Amino acid sequence: MIFGKLQRSVTGAAKTLRVWQVHRVRNITAYTGTSLTELPPNAAAFIKNSEEMCQPDKVHICDGSNVENRWLTEKLVAQGTLSPLKKYENCWLARTNPSDVARVESKTFICTENKDEAVVGSLGNWISPENMKTAINQRFPSCMKGRTMYVIPFSMGPVGSPLSKVGIEITDSPYVVESMRIMTRIGIDVVHQLQKNAEFVKCLHSVGRPENGIVEFPAWPCDPARTIILHKPDENFIASYGSGYGGNSLLGKKCFALRIGSTIAKREGWLAEHMLILGITNPQGEKIYVAAAFPSACGKTNLAMMTPTLPGYKIECVGDDIAWMRFDENGQLRAINPEYGFFGVAPGTSKETNPIAMQTIFKNTIFTNVASTSDGGVYWEGLEKEHSADVAITDWLGKPWTKGSSKTPAAHANSRFCTPATQCPIIDPAWEDPRGVPISAILFGGRRPKGIPLVYEARSWAHGVFIGASMRSESTAAAEHTKKVIMHDPFAMRPFFGYNFGKYLEHWLSMENRGKVPKIFHVNWFLKNKDGKFMWPGFGENSRVLDWVFRRVKGENCAKDSAIGFVPSEGALRTDGLDNLPESLDKLFDLPKDFWLQEVSEIEKYFETEIGNHLPNAVTKELTYLKERISKM
């Protein structure tokens, strides 16, 4: 019955759009988007089935137009979810229910017939097909009563690129629509793409409704008690219930581009990774591209937009969170950023740490869970210098906040900006190249306060895969972990694997037979001294590490062997102009034997208990070699 009303054709919608733009209509009360008849039958069936189950009052198929955007924004302001940030151009503040602020790894499941296909050890959670059905039936029926069901056709990657994939997200959250509009390519072009190729990933999302029917924060409905995020790789199907925030609800991101994406990538022979992609040009004008996997809130956005302190270097950004990579016909590994925007960590972002992000985010941006200022601006830890003392600050919970005397942070540690990538002043000219950009090096890294040097290079591809597998990092606020503990986070993918990690390692190892593999490095910006101070200035100074990586890629003899891999030879890491090191440079390359004995035994234990006989031989061998080398240290 709802579909009967969705009569407007695509051209009709386009005409209406023009009329509304001419008249600058305010208070748009109704807008019907595009029509179901434009979609292929399998897509129409997915929408119809979801409608029958969720029982929304209305169905709206998004066309991605500006009028639609205005209409939804007004709706969100009216319901109190968004408020305008008058200091900037088209910027909005959202405050979530304080129980819905981060990804919920413990409630995220992969569904396969056999547990082994999906997870090993604690790397993910498994659910059987029957239990997934039950979980859906316990939550989704009638969950959209009284609400509009939005249908978002979206493309991960440039529309029509052979490396891109299409999805359709169904959601009852207009905030999710507005965020997906920034983070992915949505609308009519994608509908046309679906007409050419009807294959798509089914993404069903509802913010849910608590069992007692009481929505505590009407501006941010959710159901934290029953939140669940389900993935069924063999049907390319995602069902997410109960949360409206971040990776839980913007299903193109972690659910599709990483979890389902990694299973598609395995089948089709490519890689879907939690990696930034950057282009780096040296003073001689030569350019390479580098991909880097750091766990959540460990510096991907910062590195991807870095302003190098080394003169003559230029960084350009292709992506800050996800890379889809495959070998081309010449055996060159090429990567696309499947996203269209940045969903970046706000706290810590400032003119000193990330001036490029600061030039990107103050127009057309949705800020979530940051603090606000009385002059209509935003505030978070790290922005102290940007505000005069006389502006009043309201914290992310909506309470007055005073610097110095308030005991809690002004912004939530996982507060974020959602901003269009096209606005980044250093967006790479090739960032939308449908063929992707050629990758010459891969970096792994994490927050390691002790023992792990600033940079080292893998001896071989297999050694690099071992380094990825043994990655560890301090926990951050991006997920529900509260304590600051060093956690294993292999390939920065711990929460994002779509299939058995042992098989994933085999897949990575097999890349060597598919083409020319890039060099692999491990970096650590987060070493701390006895006083708990960072020993490396980081941010723009990380260009010194990239310079060394660049020279290694070019084949320069500027490395020496060590027990854990190649490190810069004497004087090879450029330190000219570096006058802000709190300790000597040598300290950044210390390899304490007792630390490494402990580290290796920790890795061994982890491999044994978590991966067991799924661990490929080649990785076991690398562990043995490392143990031998360390014992001789």
- Residue 497 or residue 607: which is nearer to Mn ion going by CB? 497
Reply yes or no on whether 91 is catalytic. Answer: no
Nearer to ligand GTP, 447 or 519 (CB): 447
- Give the integer Cα–Cα distance in Å for 470 and 178: 38
Residues in 254-273 at the binding interface with ligand SPV, rule: CB under 6 A = 254
Does residue 509 sit in helix, strand or coil? helix
Question: 261: which 2 tokens?
Answer: 């994406």
Cβ atoms within 10 Å, residue 9: 12
Give the count of residues interacting with ligand SPV (CB under 6 A): 9
Rg (CA), the chain: 24
Give bridge partners of residue 559 from the DSSP assignment.
568
Measured from the CB atom, the residue of 339 and 457 that comes closer to ligand SPV is 339
Which is closer to ligand SPV, CB of 296 or CB of 302? Answer: 296
In sequence order, what are the residues at sequence separation of 6 or more whose Cβ sits closer than 8 angstroms to the Cβ of residue 78?
Answer: none
Of residues 331 through 350, those in contact with ligand SPV by CB under 6 A are 343
Q: What DSSP designation does 540 have?
A: G
Q: Which stretch binds ligand GTP (CB under 6 A): 119-127, 343-351, 554-562, 573-581?
A: 343-351
- 155, 184, 243, 301: which one binds ligand GTP (CB under 6 A): 301
Nearest distance in Å: CB 356, ligand GTP: 12
Nearer to Mn ion by Cβ, of 318 and 603: the residue is 318
Among 321, 428, 432, 610, binds ligand GTP (CB under 6 A): 321
User: How many residues bind ligand GTP, per CB under 6 A?
Assistant: 22
Q: Give 413 or 563: the residue with its C-beta nearer to ligand SPV.
A: 413
Minimum distance from CB of 345 to Mn ion (Å)?
9
b/e per residue 226-249 (b: at least 16 CB within 10 A): bbbbbbbbeebbbbbbbbbbbbbb
Q: Cα separation of 416 and 92, whole Å?
A: 12
Residues 6+ apart with CB under 8 A from 341: 182, 183, 184, 418, 419, 420, 421
The region of 36-44, 317-325, 355-363, 567-575 touching Mn ion under the rule CB under 5 A is 317-325
Q: Which of 103, 412, 448, 522 binds ligand SPV (CB under 6 A)?
A: 103
By the rule CB under 6 A, 468 interacts with ligand GTP? no
Considering the candidates 298, 418, 424, 558, report the single residue annotated as catalytic.
298
Amino acid present at 491 = F
Q: Which range, of 50-58, 261-269, 346-354, 595-603, touches ligand GTP by CB under 6 A?
A: 346-354
Under the binding rule (CB under 6 A), the answer on residue 344 touching ligand GTP is yes
Distance from C-alpha of 610 to C-alpha of 121, rounded to nearest angstrom: 4
Query: In the complex, what is the shortest distance from the CB of residue 523 to ligand SPV, in angstroms, rounded to a whole number?
Result: 18
x/- track of binding to ligand SPV for residues 433-472 (CB under 6 A): ----------------------------------------
Say how far apart CA 312 and CA 324 lie, in whole Å: 29
Q: Which residue has the tokens 């569904």?
A: 111
| Bridge partners of residue 123, in order along the sequence | 120
* Contact between 320 and Mn ion per CB under 5 A: no
For 124, residues 6+ apart whose C-beta sits below 8 A from its C-beta are 108, 109, 110, 118, 495, 497
CB 132 within 8 A of CB 232: yes
CB under 6 A: which stretch of 135-143, 281-289, 345-353, 505-513 binds ligand GTP?
Answer: 345-353
Stretch that binds Mn ion, among 321-329, 347-355, 402-410, 555-563 (CB under 5 A): 321-329
β-pairing verdict for 92-94 and 366-368? parallel
Task: Confirm if 168 and 200 have CB atoms less than 8 A apart.
Answer: yes
Characterize the bridge pairing of strands 486-488 and 287-293: unpaired
Q: Binding to ligand GTP by residue 345, rule CB under 6 A?
A: yes
Contact assessment for residue 455 and residue 549, using Cβ atoms and an 8 Å cutoff: yes
**Residue 552: beta bridge partners?**
none
Q: Does 294 bind ligand SPV (CB under 6 A)?
A: no
506 part of the interface to Mn ion, by CB under 5 A: no
Under the binding rule (CB under 5 A), the answer on residue 321 touching Mn ion is yes
Residues annotated catalytic, as ranges: 298
- What residues make contact with Mn ion under the rule CB under 5 A? 296, 321
Residue ranges binding ligand GTP (CB under 6 A): 294, 296-302, 320-321, 344-345, 347-348, 353, 478, 525-526, 534, 538-539, 542
Chain residues binding ligand SPV by CB under 6 A are 103, 246-247, 253-254, 296, 321, 343, 478
